[in-house]
Amino acid sequence: MSVTPDASRQPATAARDSGVEQASRFEAVIGLEVHVELNTATKMFCGCAIDFGGAPNVRTCPVCLGQPGSLPMINAKAVESAIRLG
């Protein structure tokens, strides 16, 4: 895609700045979002096992299906691990 510069709307300095000079006006801030799979035996909010490879719909319950009336119960081991990870 080509962009035709509109000379009349360019700031006076822009034409003189090189690419390096332009970049130097920005500060690089880099954040890392790290996802870790915790080695718990059960899911985050219910007691269902988290093993892979079983028959369909056997490692489910009213809680992880979000059935009406069900309530999540937080996995204590996951909380403990998260605290240890800081």
Q: Does 74 bind other proteins (CB under 8 A)?
A: yes
Smallest distance from the beta carbon of 86 to other proteins, in angstroms? Answer: 24
Q: Does 71 bind other proteins (CB under 8 A)?
A: yes
Number of residues that bind other proteins (CB under 8 A): 13
CA distance 78 to 42: 9
State both tokens at 11.
């700031």
State both tokens at 40.
């718990």
Residue type at position 80: E
Choosing from 22, 62, 80, 82, the residue that interacts with other proteins (CB under 8 A) is: 62
Smallest distance from the beta carbon of 64 to other proteins, in angstroms? Answer: 12
In contact, 48 and 42? CB cutoff 8 Å? yes
Q: Does 66 bind other proteins (CB under 8 A)?
A: yes
The region of 10-18, 21-29, 36-44, 56-64 touching other proteins under the rule CB under 8 A is: 56-64
Phi/psi for 72 (5° steps) reads: -75, 145
